[in-house]
A and B are shown apart, each in its own frame.
Chain A
Amino acid sequence: MELDKSFAVAFAGMSAQSQRLKVIAENIANADSTAKTPDADPYKRKIISFADELDKKMGVDMVKVSGVSQVQGGFGRVYEPGNPAADASGYVKTPNVNTLTEMMDMREAQRSYDANLNVIDAAKAMLSRTIDLLRG
């Protein structure tokens, strides 16, 4: 049935957005995670990317997570001589996570998730209208 496809695509969109939210949560939670040794890198910000994929069975463009990658470089430096990760001059490398950017990404993920929910609502209304035809 045609409406099933709408549901399937919208669910795919929702699961993609919730995986995005998971990655954002990891970034925010690790915004202050430094390395254990001076020469190692601190937590690296992760970014998720999506790709459209044709579902051959249904013939619709689904969405899938095409990969999670780490952003290299761009670390901050904080003077903290007591930290075990501090280098010879007392500086510690901090993660390249900007919590404001993450917040903005989070809002966008939320908005896209809501949009998918709206599509499901509309498809559900259409389905129940069709069933109402039987009631006469």
Chain B
Amino acid sequence: MDIGQIPLFAALTKRMSWLTARQTVLAENVANANTPGYVAKDLKELDFKSLIGKTKSFGPLQLAATEPGHIAPAVATTPAQVVTVADDQSLDGNGVSLEAQMMKVSTNASDYALVTSLYKQNIGLIKIVLGSGGAGG
């Protein structure tokens, strides 16, 4: 069984990669907080439906594996969309508000903590089923 095929884990993994990508975008904003003419960026929010709604039969087309030796290609992930954020601009045309960025960075980190603990919990459930004592460690 491939854990990545379970819808819940697939959704959590997608969320984690989205949060990681967002962290990079926020890092760019903070690093360029004093660059004239730089406009703050953010990622478009993940759509909950796109995470959960897709069952396997509606997923992207894949090559048929007709031989046991065939390897399924990695599913192409759609890159997260980058949008610009219209914050207040200073005189030099820089539109990065450090306070707003700090808020986003900390929400991002706590969201990530939430997702990883959900992931851990669900792995624990599978462990209970397997009888390896997921609750006890």
A residues contacting B by CB (< 8 A) are 2-3, 5-7, 9-10, 12-13, 16-17, 20, 49-52, 60-63, 108, 111-112, 115-116, 118-119, 122-123, 125-126, 129-130, 132-133, 136
7 extra A-B contacts, CB within 8 A, seeds A2-B17, A119-B30:
A16-B34, A50-B35, A61-B38, A115-B101, A118-B102, A133-B120, A136-B120
Interface residue SS majority, chain B: helix
**Which residues in window 26-79 of B have CB below 8 A to A?**
26-28, 30-36, 38
Contacts of B89 in A (CB 8 A): none
Q: How far is the CB of B132 from chain A (nearest CB, A)?
A: 9
B109 interface residue, CB < 8 Å from A? yes
B residues contacting A by CB (< 8 A) are 16-17, 19-21, 23-24, 26-28, 30-36, 38, 98, 101-102, 105-106, 108-109, 112-113, 116, 119-120, 123-124, 127, 134, 137
Contact A136 B123 (CB under 8 A): yes
User: Contacting A52 at CB < 8 Å: which of B24, B27, B35?
Assistant: B35
Q: How far is the CB of B120 from chain A (nearest CB, A)?
A: 6
Contact A2 B20 (CB under 8 A): yes
Contact A13 B33 (CB under 8 A): yes
Interface residue SS majority, chain A: helix
Q: How far is the CB of A44 from chain B (nearest CB, A)?
A: 21
Task: Tell me, in angstroms, the Cα distance from A10 to B27 when the chains sit together.
Answer: 6
How many Cβ-Cβ contacts under 8 Å join chain A to chain B? 113
Contact B113 A115 (CB under 8 A): no
The verdict on A13 contacting B24 (CB below 8 Å), with A119-B105, A125-B109 known, is no
Contacts of A49 in B (CB 8 A): 36
Contact A132 B30 (CB under 8 A): no
Contact A116 B31 (CB under 8 A): yes
Contact A122 B35 (CB under 8 A): no
Contacts of A2 in B (CB 8 A): 17, 20-21, 23-24
Task: Tell me, in angstroms, the Cα distance from A119 to B33 when the chains sit together.
Answer: 13
Contact B98 A112 (CB under 8 A): yes
Contact B116 A129 (CB under 8 A): yes
Contact B32 A63 (CB under 8 A): yes
The verdict on A50 contacting B36 (CB below 8 Å), with A3-B23, A118-B105, A133-B116 known, is yes
The verdict on A52 contacting B102 (CB below 8 Å), with A3-B23, A5-B27 known, is no
Task: Tell me, in angstroms, the Cα distance from A51 to B16 when the chains sit together.
Answer: 30
Contact B31 A10 (CB under 8 A): yes
Contact B35 A9 (CB under 8 A): no
